[in-house]
Amino acid sequence: MPLALCLAVTVSPGRTGEQLHVCKESEYHYEYTACDSSGSRWRVAVPHTPGLCTGLPDPVRGTECSFSCKAGEFLEMQTQMCRPCAEGTYSLGTGVRFDEWDEVPHGFANVATNMEVDDSFGDVAENCTASTWVPLGDYVASNTDECMATLMYAVSLKQSGTVTFEYIYPDSSIVFEFFVQNDQCQPTVEESRWMRTTEKGWEFHSVELSRGNNVLYWRTTAFSVWSKVPKPVLVRNIGITGVAFTSECFPCKPGTFAPAAGSAACQPCPADTFSGKGATACQPCDPETYAEPGSGSCKPRPPCTDKDFFYTHTACDADGETQLMYKWAEPKICSEELPQAAQLPPSGIKTRCPPCNPGFAKGNGSTCQPCPYGSYSNGSACLSCPEGTEPALGLEYKWWNVLPPNMETTVLSGINFEYKGIAGWEVAGDYIYTAAGASDSDFMILTLVVPGFSPPSPVLEDTESREVARITFVFETLCSVGCELYFMVGVNSRTNTPVETWTGSTGKQSYTYLVEKNATMSFTWAFQRTPYHEAGRRFTSDVAKLYSINVTNVQGGVASFCRRCAPQPTGSCAPCSPGSAVDPSSGTCQPCPSGTYLRSHPSDGTPTCHPCGPGTCSNQLRSLCYNNCSLALALPGRMLRFEFPSLGMGAGVGTGPSFTPKGLPYSHHFRLSLCGHQGRKMASCADNVTAGRGGPAHVVTSYVCQAIVVPPDITGARAAVSSQPISLGDYLLGVTTSSVLDNIVSPPELFPPGHPDLPDIIFFFRSNDMTQPCSGGRATTIRLRCDPLHLGTGTLAVPRWGGDTGDPEGGFTWPRHLLLSGLGTSLGCFALETPLSQCQCPSLLGVILAVPSKCPEGTCDGCTFHFLWVTAEGCPRCSSFHHRPIVGACIGGVQKTTYVWREPRLCHGGDALPPQVIQACRSMDFWLKVGISTGTCVAVLLAALAAYFWKKTQKLEYKYSKLVMDAVARESDATSPDSCAIMEGEDAEDELLFATEMSLFGKFKALTAKRMPDGFDSVPLKTSSSSTKQEL
């Protein structure tokens, strides 16, 4: 006999020898033994208390292991036949359901653990024991911190089955996964592991289960990188089928009922009714009490207050008048009969209706009708557009007498997240505002649906801005607590993505969102007064107001003005061809000149030609401006030319790891593409958190983008988890060496100084995403700095700068943790903090991309991001300016001239160094001998001349003295011509000087005078009586 059959005759050792009575039917129950290899089993009787009685029924062969009952039935073990469940009960037939979450049901395990982080962070990581799933009545809510919370349930299936549940997953900041493992801990449904975010309320999820042991996992991990607490994941109505049979039916929980036998589920009680456990019908509440749908009891009605009603305006009547009215907030749970209860105020007096909205005019009746195509209106009357113009179609709402037909409003419960079917927003003349909900945690929903768009010119794929249309609204929030206003955008009624959130009182302001996809779009405003679930209304005075909504280029819209267009022979207008714009003077389409691009005018959307920024050029279609990976830079006395084609291929870089308060590591990952490709954006960042169930990941494509990355070893995924991608640069403003462009500043002090003779090249980008803190859109500056030692674009890393705490020279210092992307670099050089000059890894001969040390996440204000890109591609092309000659010595009659780079070398590529020049020369010894010989000859000649002139001077002085003496002696004689002659015995070759004193030049002239033909020298004499000179 099998061991299991022994259960029927087991007795308690403590009762041995006593006389046991025969077991009654109430003292035992039936169970099945485990299935054998043939799929058979036995039905045995098992006493409730072993050893209390004897005479149990004999075991009988049971049903086949694959036997099961239908939903609404149970297996009666005594007859082994399926019976319908009684009224007030239900069953799944072959499964179980968990729909009551006042506490975690039996069989579930609820655990929370820290992420696997480095041991060095163990002291700062907070404890996660309290970060588990929280049961909240009808559902269970996940954690909202960085701990890993896991809800587990183990079940053994006798046959293949399914697990189903409903969930709300509103925030992708939480990583939500559901997976199933078998008894070997192997995943069985990996393809549906990562859950997709929900857009509108509860979504249903179903997964097939295999026969045997299955362990179900609901796991969440949040990371509040932006210092914002994410909204939790909610799960309810977990059902599991495939357990082969159900031996009993389950009673309906309080607040539900099953009116007929054989029910597979219980129905909730309607409002103002209640029921107990196992009810077959709901009971009405007394008039002085109330109950919400699905309540197990009634509550006393509180006295009405001024927070239980709101005001609205009636539609215009035939006389063109409207009236202020007050209404009770739905559902009305207060009582007007109680003492001190507030009464509904009387209706106000009638006033004139506001004018129609732009593009509308009043027809025969009092209602506003849209103006026909080809006309426009400011709200008073429809006027035809002048010739050469066309209506600028759109939608503009600034008067709120009735809710427009393409708008709808409702209320989403903040407790069970069910839509209540009541109005959440009410019109109030010059604005529309949030009414009072059932509770302060309700979401007041307002949705505008636009069927499509018709831009004035085709939106090209490679245009600078893919703007199809734009929506601008003016709003205000008045709050006493932490209210939140959400603006969400949906595409084709399938998604509803939050775009912007405002918290608390904001004041009256405007917000603009650019539409880049031509599809049916829905724009939703959701206002929640407080996220805390409390019954009643305490903060109904906290409201959100919308004053105006303006949507451009609406397909089938109306016009408030007309814009110029290119007329056609038929009299209609047609858009200009790509690259052309309407000339205001002639009214014809004219191609935009080179260096300009088409940009829509912000007031009317008419495309016009605008000049490109510095360092950029326009593409062929004049749809955008881009840099073709080259730049000409004029500096004093020289022209530098840059070429950096490698930087246009796109590059990725990640910051060092950051840690949340719970110890979760994450990093910021950036993708960049600077130039080339005719301006096409080559950088893309993805959100793969919500890409489960075969759906595509959300991808952002731009020139510069950013995403939050969590390592795969932390989340257990096969790849790194990338989340929250944003664009940091949708169009290029310009490339220049100036630190300021279009009000974007690239502070040079954020990075170490560069070379004084070569400025950094700065790329300026701006994004189209306008957020609450970044009203002008995000911006990015990328400094391109020359370093000829860093070639190529292989591996990119994010170093932090040394100087104070690293390299004493102020150079790069590599951090201990890096996120790398590129060509698979070895991490040998990154083990320690090593100055770049000492790092010998060949892979580092590439670019270096750095973020500011003062702003380690790349931005100091969250709006403008700054990068430094150090690479050889940032150097100008080498030219004759960058090298200098070195002339060698003349050795053996040969002289060499060698050209070398100027230090520091600040060029790359371009012209190579000129070859060495070799020329003949004479040696230094030869020229030395020639110099000495020439000097000696000159010295001898000068000495001889000096001696000769000294001798002549002596003779002339003697003769001169003698003549003077003779002349004085004869002054006493009779007047006669003064004359003299050479006496006998005197040297005939001697010369005479003038009687008067002569200059040195005169002396030299006298020495060279010629003798007279008679052999005498001619001597000019001065007589005593006259100054006349005579020649003797």
pLDDT at 965: 83
Nearest to 455 by CA among 610, 599, 669, 619: 599
Share of the chain above pLDDT 70, in %: 78
Nearest to 690 by CA among 736, 663, 725, 730: 725
Which tokens belong to 773? Answer: 């803190």
Q: How confident is the model at residue 795 (pLDDT cuts 50, 70, 90)?
A: very low
DSSP string covering 993-1027 = --SS---HHHHHHHHTPPBPTTSPBP--EE-SS--
pLDDT digits (tens, 9 = 90+) for 563-622: 888 776 666 677 777 888 888 777 788 889 999 988 876 556 677 889 999 999 998 888
Lowest average pLDDT, out of 270-274, 316-320, 949-953, goes to: 316-320
Mean pLDDT of 239-259: 86
Q: Are strands 1021-1022 and 432-434 parallel, antiparallel or unpaired?
A: unpaired
Cα–Cα dist 298/615, whole Å: 74
Which tokens belong to 356? Answer: 């129609």
Nearest to 859 by CA among 706, 671, 665, 657: 706
pLDDT at 836 over 70: no
pTM: 0.69
Nearest to 230 by CA among 720, 708, 712: 708
Q: How confident is the model at residue 825 (pLDDT cuts 50, 70, 90)?
A: very low
pLDDT digits (tens, 9 = 90+) for 72-97: 888 888 888 888 999 999 988 888 88
**Residue 472 · residue 510 · CB < 8 Å:** yes
Q: Which helix (H) or strand (E) covers residue 378, if one does? A: none
Q: How confident is the model at residue 797 (pLDDT cuts 50, 70, 90)?
A: very low
> Would residue 262 be called left, alpha or beta, if left means φ above 0 and alpha means ψ between -120 and 50 degrees?
left
pLDDT digits (tens, 9 = 90+) for 487-504: 989 887 666 778 888 988
pLDDT at 799: 37
Q: How confident is the model at residue 979 (pLDDT cuts 50, 70, 90)?
A: very low
Cα–Cα dist 94/73, whole Å: 9
Instruction: Select, from the ranges 449-463, 575-589, 795-809, the one with the highest average predicted confidence (pLDDT).
Output: 575-589
Most distant pair of Cα atoms in the chain: their distance: 203
Cis-peptide, bond into residue 614, ω within 30° of zero: no
Cα–Cα dist 956/962, whole Å: 10
